[in-house]
Amino acid sequence: MGDYTNMSAYYDDIMTSGYYDYAGIVDSLLTHQPFANALEIGCGTGLILEELSTRQPRLALTGIDLTEAMLVIAQRRLQKHHNITLLQGDVIDFQLAQQYELAFSYGGVWYFVIDGDKEPFMVSHLAADADNHHGLARLAAHVRPGGTLLLGIQGPHHNYERVISNGMRYSQTIAPSADGFTKNYYLTDGPNTVMAQTLQYRTYSFADACRMLSAQGFDYAPQQGRKHRFLAFTKH
């Protein structure tokens, strides 16, 4: 389960210290226009929704996230964005009243790792195989036929540490596990550990991921060029 409670208070400082490039992520989302509404799965503290809404205030946006503490920060950040609805929920059993033209997830729940010319593989915050099938089925129920699903692309994960914008030291360690890997996140302030979070990730080969997505109605839609931040799938 991808619960981010421990990291929530420090999430923005870590992510905006170069971990994710939010302007680039939103540039990439906007190449998929036109769309009038969009759903973000695992919206966290709302950093993508804020950038997207600032650039395109007429979009109707919904963000869903499992971690209440992340959503508290998102609510505060997005309070002036009346075009955004935030909901607490788990992707494996969420139920909304509408279907969306675009759904996307960047680092939340599912993403692809692309390492040079190696075969991409999918990473999931959902450790149990059955949860991945249920989650993608729930997601598929919320994307209209002909709509688009975008799952973020990340580089290979490795152990590293760096000083972030608030002066604290962020570090992460990765260890392989039976079906994926375990990732430990730490934040230290001098000798004190102020945050420690351990998450279990499941991985799928590209072929297995495409089969699982296709079974829920999402067909891989390759895009030209190499600068994309998302892999695209079309809902049939």
Ligand X SMILES: C[S@@+](CC[C@H](N)C(=O)[O-])C[C@H]1O[C@@H](n2cnc3c(N)ncnc32)[C@H](O)[C@@H]1O
Q: Which residues bind ligand X (CB under 6 A)?
A: 2, 4, 15, 20, 42-44, 47-48, 64-67, 70, 90-92, 106-109, 125-126
What is the amino acid identity at position 152? G
Query: Least separation, in Å, of the C-beta of 190 and ligand X?
Result: 26
Specify the residue for token string 């909901």: 87
How many helices (H) and strands (E) are present in the chain, helices listed first?
6, 13
Q: Which is nearer to ligand X, 60 or 69 (CB)?
A: 69
Identify which of residues 1 and 215 has a Cβ nearer to ligand X in the complex: 1
Amino acid at 44: G
Sequence-ordered list of residues with C-beta below 8 angstroms from that of 31, at least 6 positions apart, any chain: 228
Least CB distance to ligand X at residue 225 (A): 22
Q: How far apart are CB 119 and ligand X at their closest, in Å?
A: 23
Of 79 and 224, the one with the shorter C-beta distance to ligand X is 79
41/210 with CB nearer ligand X: 41
- Do residues 95 and 140 make contact, with C-beta atoms less than 8 angstroms apart? no
Q: What is d(CA 23, CA 7) in angstroms, rounded to the nearest whole number?
A: 22
- Bridge partners for 113 per DSSP: 121, 154
Q: How far is CA 138 from CA 63, 96, 135, in A?
A: 15, 10, 5
Q: How far is the CB of 118 from ligand X (least distance, A)?
A: 22
Nearest to 124 by CA among 4, 209, 196, 11: 209
Q: Considering the complex, state which of residue 60 and residue 199 has its C-beta at the smaller distance from ligand X.
A: 199
Minimum Å gap between C-beta 117 and ligand X is: 26
The span from the CA of 115 to the CA of 110, in Å, is: 17
